[in-house]
Amino acid sequence: MTDAAENRNFALYETLVINAARLVFLAVFFAAWEYIARNRIVNPLFIGIPTEIAKFLWIGLFVEFSLIKDLYWTLGSTFLAFVIGSVAGIITGLMFITWPWFERFSDPLFSALNALPRIALAPLFLLWFGLGIWSKVALGASLTYFIVLSSAVAGIRSTNADHLTLSRTLGASKGQIFARVTLPSAVPTIFSGLRLGLIYALLGVIGGEIIAAQHGLGQLLSFLAGSFQISGVFAVLFILAILGTALIALMNSLEKWLLRWQ
Amino acid sequence: MSGQGQLAASAAVKPEAGGYTQAPAGAREIGNVLIRDLNHRFGSSVHAAADVNLSFAPGEFVSIVGPSGCGKTTVLNLLAGLMPVQEGTISIFGSPPKAGRHDVAYMLARDCLFPWLTAAQNAEFGARIRHADRHKSQERARHLLEAVGLKGFEENYPKALSHGMRQRVALARTFCLDSPLLLMDEPFGALDAQTKMQLEDVLLSLWMKERRTVVFITHDLAEAITLSDRVVVMSARPGRIIADIRIELPRPRSVTDLQKDPEYHKIYAKVWEKLEVGLQS
């Protein structure tokens, strides 16, 4: 057997052991939780009961599909907030680069808006856009927008001066320089902004739903907590954790593919 | 090549009204690159190039050497049209320099490859920017990559290439352009001695096939003598031309063989003397 194959086998073995250890840890953790809650060592009103959480998830996901419906609302709003916020952010970034006077002119305004805790805008957005998804989209997009804007500006500014000199001597047009030099060199920085922007879009949407909504996981969370269904609250939190992780994993694999040259 | 013969004469010619626009001189100078009475200053205190008069004949390989800060790169950047000419005239094939003209190719000191393009894509980048036929430039880039010794590395990204290999790709990119005038700004300055000699050989073999005009900036006298038909020596600031020496070594030259050639060392000593004078003055 070659060294490489041996190393691979060893790595595989290590992965197996680590995953097994994780499963054991989780099993012990949930068993202890179940034991503590069932025997009222801690009141289950505060920490829920794992079997109840599982039952809630099972019914919500596979029997009544109520969780799926709320998930669908939340994901849809998050997607819209992310797309609107990042497209607007990138366009504003391009405008800043194209017209530096515009950036200088609007800098105090943007700084103030960016420093404002965006969740404080929620009541206003509710008034403007109603109880439906658009108030949540607005809140999420307002968070994504500034993150993507600053990363777009930083990314475009980070273009290597040598690359620009070379393009000039080659006689590249403005459009060619943008498409073939500026944009590709900005992608890594913009992408880290997009990844963060997606997480913040989710944050904004959930925040908005908790405050006031008709649908969505945030609204469900707020309803369950208000009616002391703590196992349900934990079930929603599990779904949110998995959702966040899945979104990050999606962005990571997209980034890995886009930036395979790095 | 009628240009070669009148070289000495045109270098000495002082511009009258209009310089290169003069009809009788202009007709003969069409294939030439001329610099007349060039002065360039940065701010009020730094005088980078002083009274530079130079002429490059078609197909000639000319190196400009000098101590760092003497203004040799300034002269090259003015030829490339990267900065406006302040005083004097420059004529490239009968017209003033301009960044982006297609008859000039510029190679930077750093390899300047795009990290998101493969070696092959980098090699054809310039040709594609200049709207060369896609199929033809692809073919040519592959061919050049093979010529610079990178066969099998076409699909590698720059991160997977060594310093020397990256500079080979940059050479391929420069030669992939059709430009009859190549401007090179210390392209091998950052390489170790062995890699440098290998790349000098590669450059010589590429150049021998097409004999384009090359203006090569370097601070390495040995490199200048090895490669060039003429070595122009500039003094420390303000950069004046203090010697313009024809290198009578036969071609084709082999970089490694030259190291043992007594004739080469004699020329080296002679040029070094001039450079020494320049450093003292």
Residue B144's contacts (CB-CB under 8 Å, 6 or more residues apart) are B123, B171, B172, B175, B176, B206
Question: ω before B58 within 30° of 0 (cis)?
Answer: no
How many angstroms separate the CA of residue A170 from the nearest CA in chain B? 5
The DSSP element (H or E) to which B157 belongs, if any, is none
Percent of chain B having pLDDT more than 90? 27
pLDDT band at A1 (very low <50, low <70, confident <90, very high): low
Backbone angles phi and psi of B154, in degrees to 5: -60, -40
Q: Looking at the predicted structure, is the pLDDT value of residue A123 above 60?
A: yes
A63 and A20, same structural domain?
no
State yes or no: pLDDT of A74 exceeds 90: yes
A58/A120 same-domain check:
yes
Query: Is the CB of A162 less than 8 angstroms away from the CB of B112?
Result: yes
Mean pLDDT for A69-93 is: 94
> Which chain A residue lies closest to B80 (C-alpha atoms)?
A169
Same domain, A149 and A176: yes
Q: How many residues does chain B have?
A: 281
Q: How do B241-246 and B230-234 pair as beta strands?
A: antiparallel
pLDDT for B257: 87
Residues contacting residue B76 through CB under 8 Å, at least 6 positions apart: B64, B183, B184, B185, B215, B217
Q: Quick one: which of B210, B202, B200 has its CA closest to B178?
A: B210
Q: How many whole angstroms separate alpha carbon A96 and alpha carbon A91?
A: 9
Inter-chain touch A184–B157, beta carbons under 8 Å: no
Q: What single DSSP character describes residue A178?
A: I
ipTM above 0.85, yes or no: no
Listed in sequence order, the DSSP H helices in B117-243 are 119-123, 125-129, 134-147, 163-175, 193-210, 221-227
> How does residue B2 score in pLDDT terms, banded at 50, 70 and 90?
very low
pLDDT at B39: 87
Question: Do residues A216 and A245 share a domain?
Answer: yes
Residue scoring higher pLDDT (A4 or A107) = A107
CB-CB under 8 Å, A180 with B101: no
Query: Which pLDDT band, with edges at 50, 70 and 90, does B27 fall under?
Result: very low
| Tally of residues, chain A | 262
Tens digit of each residue's pLDDT (9 = 90 or more) over B34-84 = 888 888 888 888 888 888 888 898 889 999 998 877 888 889 999 999 999
Count of domains forming chain A: 2
Query: B76 is written with which tokens?
Result: 């090259």
Residue type, B53: N
Determine the pLDDT at residue A2: 61
Q: Which residue of chain A has the CA closest to B158?
A: A261
Å from B87 to nearest chain A CA? 22
- Which domain, by its residues, includes A3? 1-42
Spell out the domains of chain B, with CATH numbers in brackets.
7-103+179-280 (3.40.50.300), 114-173 (no CATH)
B15: preceding bond cis by omega (within 30 degrees): no
- In this structure, are A135 and A167 located in the same domain? yes
Does residue B7 carry a pLDDT above 80?
Answer: no
Query: Distance between CA atoms of B67 and B247, rounded to whole angstroms?
Result: 20
Q: Are residues A243 and A158 in the same domain?
A: yes
My answer on whether A14 and A130 are in the same domain is no
For chain B, list the strands marked E by DSSP: 33-42, 46-56, 61-65, 87-92, 104-107, 181-185, 213-218, 230-234, 241-246
Calpha distance B100→A173 (Å, rounded)? 9
Q: Which residue among B130, B157, B159 sits closest to A170, beta carbon to beta carbon?
A: B130
Q: Is A165 within 8 Å of B82 when comparing Cβ atoms?
A: yes
Res B26: pLDDT: 43
Rounded to two decimals, the pTM is: 0.76
Q: Are the Cβ atoms of A170 and B82 closer than 8 angstroms?
A: no
CA distance B117 to chain A (A): 7
Query: How far is it, in rounded angstroms, from Cα A197 to Cα A204?
Result: 10
Alpha-carbon torsion A244, A246, A249, A255, what sign?
negative
- pLDDT by residue (tens digit) across A212-222? 888 999 999 99
Examine the domain organization and report whether A21 and A132 are in the same domain. no
Nearest to A252 by CA among A194, A203, A200, A184: A194
Is there a single domain that holds both residue A10 and residue A134?
no
Burial class (CB in 10 A: 0-12, 13-18, 19+), B50: buried
Do A20 and A145 sit in the same domain of this protein? no
Coil, helix or strand at residue B57: coil
Q: Coil, strand or helix: which one is A195? A: helix
Task: Sort A82 into a burial class: Cβ within 10 Å, 0-12 / 13-18 / 19+.
Answer: buried
Identify the pLDDT of residue A118: 86
Cβ atoms of A49 and A34 closer than 8 Å: yes
What's the confidence (pLDDT) of residue B252? 86
| B169, pLDDT greater than 90 | yes
Answer yes or no: do A115 and A193 share one domain. yes
CATH of the domain at A167: 1.10.3720.10
pLDDT for res B9? 38
Same domain, A231 and A161: yes
Residue A28 has pLDDT above 50, yes or no: yes
pLDDT tens for B86-122 read 888 898 888 889 888 888 999 988 889 999 999 999 9
